[in-house]
Amino acid sequence: METTQNIIEMFDDESAEANEFRRLYSKMKNLYSGRELKNLLVTSATISEGKSTTAALLAATIARYRDTKTIIVDCDLRRPRIHQLFGVAKEDGVADVLMGKKRLDACFKQSPLENLKILTSGGIIDNPTELFNSSRMKDLFSEIKFYFDAIIVDTPPVIPVTDSLILSTEMDGALFVLKAGQTQKAVVNRAVELMKNSGLNILGVIVNNMKGVLPYYYDYKYYGYKYYTKDAHPQVA
């Protein structure tokens, strides 16, 4: 069932989380000012670490930055979440374009933000890896880059499947999301190893759920900030 509530409606631009995402984007631009960072992949080691929420809120942050034309692309064809977060239909998306059923520009969906478009995962397919390995994937991202200044790509976690690693050749960099207090160190090390071996340029690590594991005096509520979302609390390592 599709949700009718949009993540943008839940995300207060003056909240602590919004400030953290602005810091994240600003830090990336400062650290990598000499590189092209147009295609950014967001992934995690395993499921339920908050990567899709992180990707959605990062895309919203970038779209608000100097009116940057931004798109969020759901390449997690196995467990898509972006359509649910934005309250739009899943159909007519990545899978349909890669299979030649739809034109790319006919699949862009509008978000509540003027400069943020959405490309959902599309219809159900049996073998996403086969699609990602096709020559059409390169064509897809070449065309997306023609329309947009910033591209945020939500991808599957790297431990269960290889989809994210296959996409590495089309990406300018990757952000790795882990959930504090949940993701085991050995799992993180293995995921990072796989990403490096595939050639993914790891730009940074976003630590999620910090308020659930740090002492109270590190919690934003201690300083009087209000919370509007529970999932995303990014910090770059």
Per-residue pLDDT tens for 102-131? 999 999 999 999 999 999 999 988 889 999
What integer is the mean pLDDT of 133-139? 91
Which pairing describes strands 150-154 and 70-74: parallel, antiparallel, or unpaired?
Answer: parallel
Kindly report, residue by residue over 46-63, the tens digit of the pLDDT: 998 999 999 999 999 999
Q: Evaluate whether 187 touches 217 at the Cβ level (below 8 Å).
A: no
- Give me the pLDDT at residue 211, please: 62
Each as own residue / partner, the long-range contacts of residues 100-108 (CB below 8 Å, 24 or more positions apart, any chain) are: 100/136, 104/140, 104/143, 104/144, 105/147, 108/71, 108/147
Torsion region of 125: left, alpha or beta (phi above 0 gives left; psi -120 to 50 gives alpha):
beta
Torsions phi, psi for 201 (to 5 deg): -85, 100
Which tens digit of pLDDT belongs to each residue from 163-177?
999 999 999 999 999
Q: How confident is the model at residue 220 (pLDDT cuts 50, 70, 90)?
A: very low
Report how far residue 24's alpha carbon sits from residue 16's, in angstroms, rounded to the nearest whole number.
12
Question: For residues 172 and 201, is the Cβ–Cβ distance under 8 A?
Answer: yes
Which tokens go with 137? 């994937």
- What band does 180 get if pLDDT is binned at 50, 70 and 90? confident
CATH architecture of 7-223: 3-Layer(aba) Sandwich (3.40)
> Average pLDDT over the chain, rounded to whole?
85
**Residue 13 pLDDT grade (very low, low, confident, very high; cuts 50, 70, 90):** confident
pLDDT at 11 over 70: yes
Contact 204, 237 (CB under 8 A): yes
pLDDT of residue 236: 47
Distance CA 119, CA 1 (A): 18
Q: Is 150 helix (H, G, I), strand (E, B) or coil?
A: strand
Range list of H helices, 32-181: 51-64, 82-86, 94-98, 128-132, 136-147, 163-166
pTM, 2 dp: 0.86
